[in-house]
Structure 1
Amino acid sequence: MTLYHFGNCLALVYAPYHMAYKFSGISEYASFSKCVYAGVLYIFTQLCKMLVLATFFPDSDSQMNGEYDVFLELLKATVDFADLFGMYFALNSVPGKAHAKILTTAIGWASAEVAVSRSVSLWVGARGAEFDWRHVRSCAEANVALLQHAASAALVWLCARRDLPRALAPPVLALAALTPYRALLEDAAAALLALAAWPLLALRALHAAALALVTLAFYAIMAQQSSV
């Protein structure tokens, strides 16, 4: 039973990633190595972020006492701009059309995040003697993260375009600038609405879907005006 639960969790996490890679068409570009490269960039970026956080944002007395410092949390979230720079380098390393660049970067980035942040907890927790919905929720969050990273990669690609229409520039730049604060805004909304774990997951999924649809609309406009 424990192995069955563990297998279901693995399928829930990795099956959507495999399907996204297999059926999106990027496998035709022989981009598996580029996915791995994007994953390596993710790990390097997280190490740099950890170094910055440990150097400039050590644990303060207010954190030790459990107090919430809004300004400090905003500064910490600002460090996540490093993710956008990492995605930019990953996008530039992928040859081919725009959709291949975006999807390859998103899948590689999100896969590395899953491997680093969730694989150990699934191996240790999902193989336990008792079933726990917490692991199923964690797997669902990994799928939401894939959608979020795809939208973020598309926004970075749009921001890097020199032929971006002037009408699209303000909303694209605004969405890209708000990307590092996404988790902070979601947690603030959850605290304001007193959401439990599953409603919070639903909120994150709706947020990711809305951001992805808006970004897709911007990408479609861009694709109509130029050959990408």
Structure 2
Amino acid sequence: MTLFHFFNCAILTFGPHAVYYSATPLSEYDTLGTSVKAALVYLATALVKLICLATFLQVSETQVLDPYQEALKAMIGFIDVAGLYFALAQLTHRNISQNHKFQAVGLGWAFADAVLHRLAPLWVGARGLEFTWDYVLQGLEANANLVFTISLAALGSLMWLRKNKPKTMIPIIYTCALIIATMPSITSYLKRVMGWHFPKIVGFEMLTSLVMAFISCQLFILCQRPSL
């Protein structure tokens, strides 16, 4: 029963990444190398973030929200944006379209994040003697993070790679990217100040990820249209 629960949670956590790759044109255009490069960039970015967090943040013994610490954590979180920029704009990719590039980068980035942050807790916790919903919720959270990451990659592609985008769309693109980039700080506020429990936070993340994905998709489509 414990291994069955572990495999169920693992499939829920990592399965959507494989399904996304195989069900979209990414597999047809052999973009696996791009996803692997993005995953390696993520690991390097995570190491830099870890060093910055250990250097500049103080360990709090209470659950009280410290605005200064949260602001500093949010600023350090923008290292992810810098890493995503490097993966999208600076890495050499095969001759693939902008549409496939941001999806491959976002997929590799999200998969590396899921492995780094959720594989070990799953292996240790989901094989326990007692059933718990926590690891199911973590799998759902990983799915929301996948949607967030691909949406942010799409917005980053518009910001950094698309030159002739409509000027009226630029503030919307940057606002949406800012919301996604600061989502960890938003959920931290909801948890510590508003007192939201983990299931409610996961539900919020899933709903918000779908909304941001829809907006990002519409922005990407609008920016692809030739300007009159």
TM-score (norm 2): 0.91
2:75 to 78, 90, 102: 78
5+ long unaligned stretches in structure 1: none
Greater alpha carbon shift after TM alignment, 110-119 vs 27-36? 27-36
The amino acid that maps onto 1:224 is R
Aligned to 1:225: 226
1:48-106 superposed Cα distances (whole Å, 9 cap, x missing partner): 111222223344xxx24554211220121111111112112222333411221111011
Aligned to 1:201: 202
- Aligned equivalents of 2:117 and 2:55: distance in 1? 22
- Aligned equivalents of 1:98 and 1:43: distance in 2? 23
Aligned to 1:163: 164
| SS of residue matched to 1:221 | helix
Greater alpha carbon shift after TM alignment, 23-32 vs 150-159? 23-32
- Aligned equivalents of 2:213 and 2:156: distance in 1? 13
- Aligned equivalents of 1:190 and 1:68: distance in 2? 9
The amino acid that maps onto 1:219 is F
User: 5 Å matches for 1:143-162?
Assistant: 143-160=143-160, 161-162=162-163
Aligned to 2:179: 178
Question: Is the CA contact 1:42–1:112 (under 8 Å) kept in the aligned structure 2?
Answer: yes
1:143 Cα deviation from its structure 2 partner: 0.6
Question: What's the % identity of the aligned pairs?
Answer: 30
| SS of residue matched to 2:47 | helix
- Aligned equivalents of 2:27 and 2:7: distance in 1? 25
Greater alpha carbon shift after TM alignment, 187-196 vs 68-77? 187-196
The amino acid that maps onto 1:150 is I
Question: Is the CA contact 1:31–1:104 (under 8 Å) kept in the aligned structure 2?
Answer: yes
1:191 Cα deviation from its structure 2 partner: 5.1
Aligned to 1:31: 31
Greater alpha carbon shift after TM alignment, 143-152 vs 29-38? 29-38
The amino acid that maps onto 2:225 is Q
Cα distance change of structure 1 residues 84 and 217 upon mapping to structure 2, 3 Å threshold: same
- Aligned equivalents of 2:157 and 2:47: distance in 1? 23
Aligned to 1:19: 19
RMSD of equivalent CA atoms? 1.7
- How many residue pairs were aligned? 223
